[in-house]
Amino acid sequence: MKFGVVVFPGSNCERDCYYIADEVLKKETSYLWHKDRDLKDSDVIIIPGGFSYGDYLRAGGIARFSPIMEEIVDFAKKGGIIIGICNGFQVLVESGLLPGALMLNKNLKFICDTVNLKIENDSSVFTNQYKKGEVVRIPIAHKEGNYFAEENIVKQLEDQDRIALRYCDSNGNVTDEANPNGSVGNIAGVLSVNKRVLGLMPHPERMAEEILGGNDGIKVFHSILEGVV
C-alpha cells in the first residue's frame, strides 16, 4: 500500500502525516506537489491541515483549482481512498467531494484544543478499528471548522450512516456545550456516498503515539490498512 501526502503553499501538517504513514505504519509514502498531476501510484491520498494558498477567498477555495486536485477528484470518482484533515476537509468540501460548507467558528476565533469525539460509524475504511459509540480524544486547531449543511443534507448523511464522528462530552453525550465551533449536529467528520472519502476537522495524526499524549488517532490509519480492498 502506498500513501500520497498533498502539499500546497501554506500546508503545515504534511510532515506529520508523512511521518505517520512512513515511520509509524511503515508504508511507502510520497509527497504530492500541488502543481503536479502525478499521484505516484498512491493507494491512499492524505490532504493535510494548514492554510492552503493562505486561505485567501476562503479556506480551501483556491486549492480546489490546483492541478493535483483535478487528479484527486478523478481518483475519487474511481473509488480512491482519500482523507482530508482540517484544511484538507475544507478542500474536499470546496472540491465537491463532500457536501456542506465549513464556516467561521461560532466565537469567530481560532481554537486550539483537545476535544471528545463520539464514533458514529464503525464500518468505514477509516473507522473500522473503533467501536460505535466509543469516545476518543483528538486535537483540533482551526478557525473555520463550523460545519454547515442544509437540513435535508444532514438527514441524508444520517440516513446513509455518513457522519463519521461528532463532538461530545466525556460520557459521549452530544451537547451544545461539547460543540467547540458551532457545527450543525455537532458534526466533526463526514463520509462520501461510497464512504471512501473522509473529511474531518480533528487531527488524528497529532494523537497517534503515546509520546504525543495519547494514541486515539492511530486507529484511523490502522482502519485504512485493514479496510482498503
What nine digits make up the cell of 189?
467528520
| Average pLDDT value for the chain | 97
DSSP character string of 121-142: -SSSTTTTTS-TT-EEEEEEEE
Q: pLDDT digits over 161-176, tens only?
A: 999 999 999 999 999 9
**Domain membership of residue 221 as a residue range:** 2-227
Position 44 scores a pLDDT of 98
How far apart (Å, rounded) are the C-alpha atoms in residues 9 and 53?
5
* Active site annotation includes 17: no
Residue 157 banded pLDDT, cuts 50, 70, 90: very high
User: Any idea which of 50-59, 75-84, 165-174 has the lowest mean pLDDT?
Assistant: 50-59
The pLDDT tens digits for 55-70 are 887 889 999 999 999 9
Average pLDDT on 142-156 reads 97
Catalytic residue among 13, 14, 34, 86: 86
pLDDT at 224 over 90: yes
pLDDT category of residue 229 using cuts at 50, 70 and 90: low
96-137 tens-digit pLDDT: 999 999 999 999 999 999 999 999 999 999 999 999 999 999
Does residue 226 have a pLDDT over 80? Answer: yes
Q: How many domains does the chain have?
A: 1
Who contacts 200 (Cβ-Cβ below 8 Å, separation ≥6)? 83, 84, 85, 86, 89, 164, 165, 188, 189, 190
Residue 136: phi and psi, rounded to 5, are -125, 160
- Residues 10-45: tens digit of each pLDDT: 999 999 999 999 999 999 999 999 999 999 999 999
Domain harbouring 160, CATH code: 3.40.50.880
Q: Which residues pair with 140 in a beta bridge?
A: 113
The predicted pLDDT at position 228 comes to 79
Q: Other C-beta atoms within 10 Å of 121: how many?
A: 21
| Category of 87 on φ-ψ map: left (φ > 0), alpha (ψ -120 to 50) or beta | alpha
pTM summary value: 0.96
User: What is the reported pLDDT for 90?
Assistant: 97
Task: Based on the residue annotation, tell me whether 203 is a catalytic residue of this protein.
Answer: yes
- Looking at residue 227, its pLDDT comes to 85
Q: Is there a contact between 163 and 190 (Cβ–Cβ < 8 Å)?
A: yes
pLDDT at 56: 82
